Structure 1
Amino acid sequence: MLVRQLINLTNSEIQELVKILQKVNVVQFGSFTLKDGSISPVYIDLRILPNFPNEFKAIIKLTSKYIKRSRLDEEFDGIIAPPLAGIPLGAALALELEKEFYLARIQQKDHGTKKLIEGNIRNKRILLVDDVITSGISKVPILKTILDHEGILAGLFVFVNRINNPQDQTNLEERFDLSLTNLLCLENLLKLA
């Protein structure tokens, strides 16, 4: 298992990231049903970030800088990101970090190559990159797919961690023998909203 990698950001770095995300209205308020079924007054929508190329590029460049500074980039060979929001974030981050990127599917297609992962990840250290984590339940299928394809789980990186129950994070980390690293947490976004 990886030693827990932390991306220690200064308050001004957090403020810079949050300011960019606020500019494109990533944080929304209302009543939302989250992927894990819970109801929340806050929704984090990073899927819209690629609609704003300058802000998207800035977030990716800053994230890459912080990953390199924490030396997390030395712990993996390639990135896999789940559809939908994860793919543009993971692909852009892989490009910026000069790492391999692998497309993954949630379910196998019955046409074409019928692959769940495009490319050979066998014996490669893979970082799963996604936009947000709420409970970790939705990450389980893709983590299993990585292992089924003989990839080595190097960790899980999310842009925003909104896990309410710390035991959910511990369970996920222990089940897959990996560390979860996040750029921001929900509190960062709410403090400055």
Structure 2
Amino acid sequence: MDYQSRLKKFAVDLFKIDGIKFGEYKTKVGLMTPVYCDLRVLISYPKLLDFLANLIADNLPNLKSHDSLCGVPYTALPIATVVSVKTGIPMVMRRQEKKYHGTKKLIEGHFNTGDKCLIVEDVVTSGSSILETVKDLREAGLECSETIVLLNREQGGENLLKKSGIKMHALLTLTTLISFLKEEGCVDDVTVTKVQEYIKSNQVEDKEIQSRLKLQYTDRIPFTKNPVAKRLLKIISEKQSNLCLAADVLTGTELLNLAEEVGPYICILKTHIDIIEDFNENLTKHLKDISQRHNFLLLEDRKFADIGKVVQLQYTKGVFKISSWAKLITQHAIIGPGALQAVKQNSEDLGVFLLTEISTKDNLISSSYTKAALEMAEGFSHLITGIVCQSPLFLDKPGFLQLTPGVKLNSIGDSLGQQYSSPENVILERGADIAVVGRGITEATDRAQAAEKYRNLLWEAYQKRVEM
């Protein structure tokens, strides 16, 4: 069987095992696509993985000129492993999250400075995952200039990689793939046309990373790794609201009534569930219903700060069962990465706001602590939705959202050390992406009207910041 025939067989086999699906699928950021690629299923088909390894070896004549292989985490890891075994070329592994114990390595395996490393990837759309891997490998001393991928979706990734000095070799393009499937009767002309039109109208733009202060919320979605952050950015844009309400009330009825009243105007409802004096499980069920109806997320401001196992239990067990209803939580960085690892184990659909600065007077947080906390956030970028802080930090990381509490009109603080900023100041001067308002709304005579007023002021300030 010649190479082209083998390639066609591989394409058809992928379709048969549901590695390629056609229909109407929603991406993580809410966009619709007529073709969905899920090559993770390959791990259940060892013969097909072996077949693929041979295709890769035959497609890349200079494969042996590389000193090592590195699969982009996680889908490409087993593919790279099989190719390594097949060819005898050593493999290195890039962690998605920085290791904070032992050797603290980000790149695992034995290698020498200056070794040439070939990147292995399953599917390329923008090439961002490859570039992230290349960045870490280069920082570790490896040279990276080529990548082999199973499928090029032809949406601009190849050109973006080329501009970063990475030459891409693709076994299949989406056009070739669907042509093979059409020839074998797997898809009809309507599907072929839909995919062709999709490719033309969904090209990745070549944009350099700008300061997050100058980007619209929707433009930041591609830079975000945390799925809850993607959803939050979409909610903010749809509702034109960067307002988070601190719902510090004492009874379940007060909390539910408040959520109903302000729901249309907020993107997040922030709770301290342990101050509710008549808490019961029905409360959080009703709260979830209200959040879904009014399209906002629930943030439990628990500020977890204990050893990993205790945090895990606080998050999932006890009377509050926070993991069952809150998509967002807050955590201190003081305990180290253990607490983050603990909550990550219990939820794939969770966003954490990591506390690096606070709004109370005479607090003990230092600049070195803030810097270390930000480094930790980068190591857990798939879990971190954003940072709780009071100043414009991480300007070159548009994938993180800045959540800033302590916002109120016509007030300078309270008797317990809380310090306030105006809506305009918190956005324009302090760098907030989302502002937390509490008593300015909860103590208002008309809470819905107050929430709408804050929503409008904060949104106008953000748009002004982007246009400045």
> The TM-score by the shorter chain falls in which range?
0.7 to 0.9
Note the 1:131-150 alignment, pairs <5 A. 131-150=122-141
Paired with 2:31 and 2:69, the residues of 1 have a C-alpha distance of 28
State the SS of the aligned residue for 1:144: helix
Moved more, 39-48 or 55-64: 55-64
- Give the Cα–Cα distance (whole angstroms) in 2 for the partners of residues 77 and 178 of structure 1: 16
List per-residue Cα deviations over 1:4-54 (Å, max 9, x = no partner). xxxxx854233122122123121012313168x854221111111010122
Given residue 49 of structure 1, which amino acid in structure 2 is its aligned partner?
Answer: L
The Cα of 1:112 is off from its aligned counterpart by: 3.1
Amino acid at match of 1:90: A
Q: Say whether residues 1:104 and 2:97 are aligned partners.
A: no
User: In 2 relative to 1, CA 121–39 (structure 1 residues): closer, same or farther, beyond 3 Å?
Assistant: farther
Alignment of 1:1-80 (within 5 A): 11-29=4-22, 30-33=24-27, 39-67=32-60, 71-80=61-70
Q: Is the 8 Å Cα contact of residues 126 and 160 (structure 2) preserved in structure 1?
A: no
Partner of 1:83: 73
Q: Is residue 171 of structure 2 the alignment partner of residue 183 of structure 1?
A: yes
Distance 2:31 2:161 in 1: 18
2:162 to 173, 183, 186: 173
Distance 1:94 1:105 in 2: 18
Tell me the distance in 2 between the aligned counterparts of 1:174 and 1:186.
22
Q: In 2 relative to 1, CA 13–178 (structure 1 residues): closer, same or farther, beyond 3 Å?
A: same
Alpha-carbon offset, residue 74 of structure 1: 3.4
CA distance in 2: counterparts of 1:92 and 1:103, whole angstroms: 13
Which protein, 1 or 2, shows the higher relative CO under an 8 Å CA cutoff with sep ≥ 6? 1
Structure 1 pair 38–11 and aligned structure 2 pair: CA distance change class (3 A): farther
The match for 2:115 is 124
TM-score, length of structure 1 as denominator length:
0.83
Aligned to 1:162: 153
Greater per-residue strand proportion:
1
Residue type matched to 2:52 in 1?
A: I
Distance 1:128 1:189 in 2: 22
Letter of the 2:91 counterpart? F
1:98–1:154 distance in 2 versus 1, CA, 3 Å: farther
Tell me the SS of whatever aligns to 1:15. Answer: helix
The equivalent of 1:6 in structure 2 is none
CA gap of 1:11–1:174, structure 2 versus 1, over 3 A, is same
Unaligned 5+ segments in structure 1 are 1-8
Number of equivalent positions: 178
Name the CA distance, whole Å, in 1 between partners of 2:143 and 2:92.
14
Q: Aligned pair in 2 of structure 1 residues 83, 114: CA closer, same or farther (>3 Å)?
A: same
Larger mean Cα displacement after TM superposition, 89-98 or 107-116: 107-116
Return 5+ residue gaps in structure 2 as ranges.
187-468
